[in-house]
């Protein structure tokens, strides 16, 4: 009897993020999303959270040294083509990850995760300022409006504010910023995500991506899923703008087909 042996060599990507025991966000969402995109996902775990669809019960950060050791193990052997960061938990981990990704030879997507939708902190108090250096090393930063407001230290309440914040993040050294509009004007029929990209000269290019608002509960993991989808697409060789626009587009389907699991709001369903 003949058996076929036909290994494949997919692009590799790495996520540097926290574990969500409930499976909807964090490392778990990132790996599901990368797999959905035909990309081999590797993971550098920064913290474990005890959580389910109802809330976060406990958070335990790992040491910056161990995070660095995981990163080195992954990069030295599996040579990811793209990296994304999610929950980094402590200032020490933000700084250690910044030191590493600064010399990473490929795109770095930074999702500046700070607070869970339940209000639980996913980044220790006072660690926000450490993001300045990571932003300067980023290919793309993907804050929601609340995170953008903290990063630029000013209000982000309208698409005009979002564009201003995106421009500032690019001025501070990111190649691009995608300021997500899902948290803005919850009563509006559309959601506007603002993509600001460093241009040839001083003037960045701005693209507003508008989509109909979907009235859904299962949005847990949407930020993780979006940034991982962009990282996966970049690992496949897509352009930054193409990857961002396609990933935002896919989010609609991921929310529409959300997972109704557990007793809480459920989670998005990674879609490619």
The residues pairing with 14 across neighbouring beta strands, listed in sequence order, are 42, 83
Neighbours of 4 (CB within 10 A): 4
- If one counts every other C-beta atom within 10 angstroms of the C-beta of residue 260, the result is 11
Residue closer to ligand PLP, measured from CB, 204 or 221: 221
Which listed range, 113-121, 173-181, 184-192, 247-255, lies at the site for ligand PLP (CB under 6 A)? 113-121
- Residue 53 interacting with ligand PLP (CB under 6 A): no
Taking the least distance from each CB to ligand PLP, the nearer of 51 and 98 is 51
The count of residues interacting with ligand PLP (CB under 6 A) is 18
Q: Assess 223 for contact with ligand PLP (CB under 6 A).
A: yes
- Write out the two tokens for 117: 């939708």
Q: What are phi and psi of 35, to 5 degrees?
A: -60, -45
Q: CA distances (Å), 84 to each of 27, 164, 216, 234, 259, in order? A: 10, 24, 26, 10, 23
- Cβ-in-10-Å burial (0-12, 13-18, 19+) of 162 comes to buried
Q: Is 102 helix (H, G, I), strand (E, B) or coil?
A: coil
Binding residue (CB under 6 A) for ligand PLP from 61, 86, 112, 204: 86
The verdict on 271 binding ligand PLP (CB under 6 A) reads no
Contact window for ligand PLP (CB under 6 A) among 151-159, 168-176, 182-190, 216-224: 216-224
Cβ pair 30, 86 in contact under 8 A: yes
Residue 67 binds to ligand PLP (criterion: CB under 6 A): no
- 87 near ligand PLP (CB under 6 A): yes
- CA 115, CA 131: separation in Å to the nearest integer? 14
Candidates 33, 222, 228, 269; binder of ligand PLP (CB under 6 A) is 222
| Backbone φ/ψ region at 126: left (φ over 0), alpha (ψ -120 to 50), beta | left
- Per CB under 6 A, contacts with ligand PLP among 148-207 are none
192 alpha-carbon distance from chain centroid: 18
The answer to whether 138 contacts ligand PLP (rule: CB under 6 A) is no
For residue 102, give both structure tokens. Answer: 């600064």
Q: Which is nearer to ligand PLP, 120 or 171 (CB)?
A: 120
Residue 265 binds ligand PLP (CB under 6 A): no
Does residue 220 touch ligand PLP according to CB under 6 A?
yes
Binding residues for ligand PLP, rule: CB under 6 A, are 17-18, 20, 25-26, 49, 51, 86-87, 113, 116-117, 122, 220-224
């Amino acid at each position: 009897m003949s058996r076929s042996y036909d290994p494949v060599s997919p692009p590799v990507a790495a996520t540097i993020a926290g574990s969500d025991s409930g499976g909807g966000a964090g490392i778990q969402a990132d790996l599901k999303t990368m797999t959905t995109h035909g990309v081999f996902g590797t993971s550098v775990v920064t913290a474990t959270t005890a959580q389910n669809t109802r809330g976060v019960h406990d958070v335990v950060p790992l040491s910056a040294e161990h995070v660095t050791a995981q990163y080195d193990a992954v990069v030295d052997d599996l040579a990811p083509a793209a990296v994304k960061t999610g929950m980094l938990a402590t200032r020490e981990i933000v700084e250690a990850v910044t030191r590493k990704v600064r010399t990473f030879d490929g795109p770095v997507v930074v999702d500046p995760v700070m607070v869970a939708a339940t209000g639980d902190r996913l980044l220790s108090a006072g660690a926000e300022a450490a993001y300045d250096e990571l932003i300067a090393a980023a290919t793309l930063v993907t804050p929601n409006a609340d995170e953008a407001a903290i990063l630029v230290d000013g209000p982000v309440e309208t698409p005009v504010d979002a564009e201003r914040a995106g421009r500032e993040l690019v001025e501070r050294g990111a190649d691009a910023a995608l300021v997500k509009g899902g948290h803005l004007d919850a009563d509006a029929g559309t959601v506007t995500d603002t993509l600001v990209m460093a241009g040839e000269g001083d003037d960045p290019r701005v693209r507003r991506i508008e989509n109909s608002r979907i009235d859904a509960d299962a949005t847990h993991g949407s930020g993780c899923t979006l940034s991982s989808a962009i990282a996966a697409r970049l690992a496949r060789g897509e352009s930054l703008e193409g990857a961002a626009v396609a990933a935002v587009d896919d989010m609609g389907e991921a929310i529409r087909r959300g997972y109704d699991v557990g007793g809480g709001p459920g989670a998005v369903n990674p879609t490619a």
